[in-house]
Every structure is written in C-alpha cells, then in structure tokens.
Structure 1
Amino acid sequence: MLLRQATMADLPEIEAIIRDGRDLLAAQSIDQWQGIYPNTAVLVDDIHQGWTVVLEENHEILGTAAIIPGVDPTYRQIDGQWLTHDAAYLAIHRVAVSAHHHGHGLAGELFQRLFAQIDQADHIESIRIDTHPQNMAMQHIIKKNGFTETGRIDLDSVGLAGVQDFAYERLTAHVQPEHLFQTSLA
C-alpha cells in the first residue's frame, strides 16, 4: 500500500469513495454528509491546495482524507479544551474508505501512514479531527488511533449552522511533556 498526494486524475475515484461514505452514513440514519457537503468544489479545492491524500494499492484508491495545515476556522471555538494552544497543528477532514473494502482496517492503516509522515515534521505539534456525535464507527477509529476527545465544535463556519461535532486531538511523536506544559500556559 502507498499513501500519496492526490491529483485531479483521482477526483472520480475520490468522489465515488465520498459517495460510499455518504451512503453508509445514510443507511445508519446518521445526518453527517447528507446535504451538499462535501461537494465536488470542496474536493477539487482540497486537491488544488495539495491537501488530499489517497491510500492506494495496485492502482486502486482504497481511501482518502484531506490534511489541512494552519488555523482551521471550525476549531477556533471549542466547548471544551484542546490539548495544545497556539501550537502548529494539522486538521484531518473528509476521511473515507471505499465501500468495496469496509471492514479491512483501512481507515486505521490510512491514519497510521499519515502519522508516520506527520511525525517527521518538527514544527507540527498535534493533529485535530472531528466527527458527528452519532458516527460511532468513526469515533471508535479515532480513539483507537490515539486521539483524545477534547470537546465539541460548531460547524457554522462551513455552512452547517446548528451542527456540533465531537472534537479530538492527538499529539505528534516529537512533543515532549514539558513543551506541552509551556505551550498550554501561553
């Protein structure tokens, strides 16, 4: 398996995987991704920004995610407390696995390969992610992969007024406890 940056040529497969995720959530009566989000424009922008990665094997895309640097507008306000404050972080959004490969641990594989690359970046102190309160499968995957639940965030900034997701954070491998303590006091 290979984790690589997506190209525009990957868009049809990425859109199919997102549809798979939308259909799976709908079958479970989970309201996540049931509107226009994420739409083609969002996915195209992610690819153009260089944020989309795909997990690929034998020229087949098995999973996808958007890895977004910088200050994420959805994470500015939290009903709770992030593990880090004013620290460089990456946000993971739009995680999905092909319906043809559900139940094979690919979401965990995708996370582990992401962590291996992210942990090499000295300036990134943490990774943040969020999911719908009813999306128990994603909550399980997130927690199983070392994230700590930190509170709830509002999705107003992405046009989802009134929607609150559970928020999680995972420290990168190079963050030392004393550094975390100093950052938290800032």
Structure 2
Amino acid sequence: MLLRQATMADLPQIESIIRDGRELLAAQDIDQWQGAYPNTAVLVDDIHQGWTVVLEEDNEILGTAALIPGEDPTYKQIEGQWLTEQAPYLAIHRVAVSSHHHGRGLAGELFQRLFTQIDHAASIESIRIDTHPHNMAMQHVIKKNGFTETGQIDLAAAGMPGTKDFAYERLTVNAKPAHVTATQTIK
C-alpha cells in the first residue's frame, strides 16, 4: 500500500469513496454528509491545495483524507479544551474508505501512514479531527489511533450552525511541553 498526494485524475475514485461513505452513514441514520457537503467543489479545492491524500493499492484508491495545515475556523471555539493551546497543528477532514474494502482496517492504516508522514514535519505539534456524535465507527477509529476526546465544536464556520461534532486531538512526536495545556502531559 502507498499513501500519496492526490491528483485531479483521482477525483472520480475519491468521489465514489465519498459517495460510499455518505450512503453508509445514511443507512445508519447518521445525518453526517447527508447534505451538499462534501461536494465536488470542496474535493477539487482540496486536491488543488495539495491537501488530499489517498491510500492506494494495485492502482486502486482504497481510502482518502484531507490533511489541512493552519488554523481551522471550526476549531477556534471549543466546548472543552484542546490538548495544545497555540501550537501548530494539522486538521484531518473528509476521511473515507472504499465500501469494497470495509473490514480490512483501512481507516487505521490510513491514519498510521499519515502519522508517519506528519511526525517527520518538525513544525507540526498536533493533529485535530472531529466527527458526528452518532458516528460510532469513526469515533472508534479515532480513539484507537491515539486521539484524545477534547470536547465539542460547533460547525457554524463550516456553514452548519447549530451542528456539533465531537473534537479530538493527538500530539505528534514534535509536541513541545510549553504548548501543552497544564492539565495534559506528554507521554
């Protein structure tokens, strides 16, 4: 398996995987991704920005995620407390795996490969992610991969006011003690 940056040629497979995710969530009566988000324009922008990565095997894309640097507007306010205060972080959004390969642990594999890549970026001290409160499968994957639940965020900045997601953060190997909140310790 290979983790690589997506190109526009990957868009049809990425859209198919996102559609699979949308359908799976709908079948579980989870209203996450049931509107226009994420749409083609968002996915194209992610690719153009260089944010989309794909997990590939034998020329087939098995999973995708957007790895976004800088401050995420949806993470400015939290009901709770981030592990880090103002440390540089990356946000992971739009994580999905192909329905043809469910049960293979691909979301975890995608995360582990992302962590390896991120841990080599000396300036990144943490990774943030969020998910719908009813998306138990993603919550399990997030927690299993070393994230700590930090509270809830409102998705108003993403155009969905009043929608709240669970927020998580994971420290990288580059986390500096000065950026970690007083209630947390680095292990």
Which residue matches 1:20? Answer: 20
Which residue matches 1:132? Answer: 132
- Aligned-residue CA RMSD (Å): 1.3
Residues 137-148 of structure 1 mapped to structure 2, 5 A cutoff: 137-148=137-148
CA distance in 2 between counterparts of 1:120 and 1:27 reads: 38
Deviation at 1:63, TM superposition (A): 0.1
| Residues 125 and 176 in structure 2, CA contact (< 8 A), matched pair in contact too | no
Equivalent pairs counted in the alignment come to: 183
Deviation at 1:143, TM superposition (A): 0.1
Which residue matches 1:96? Answer: 96
Q: Which string of whole-angstrom CA distances, capped at 9 and with x for unpartnered residues, describes residues 2-60 of structure 1?
A: 00000000000000000000000000000000000000000000000000000000000
Deviation at 1:114, TM superposition (A): 0.2
CA distance in 1 between counterparts of 2:127 and 2:140 reads: 17
- Identical-residue share of aligned pairs (%): 79
Residues 2-151 of structure 1 mapped to structure 2, 5 A cutoff: 2-151=2-151
CA distance in 1 between counterparts of 2:131 and 2:9 reads: 28
TM-score, reference length from structure 1: 0.96
Query: Unmatched 5+ residue regions in structure 2?
Result: none
TM-score, reference length from structure 2: 0.95
Q: Which string of whole-angstrom CA distances, capped at 9 and with x for unpartnered residues, describes residues 55-94 of structure 1?
A: 0000000000000000000000000000001110000000
Is 1:163 the counterpart of 2:154 in the alignment?
A: no
Change (3 A) 1:75 1:181: closer
Moved over 6 A (4+): none
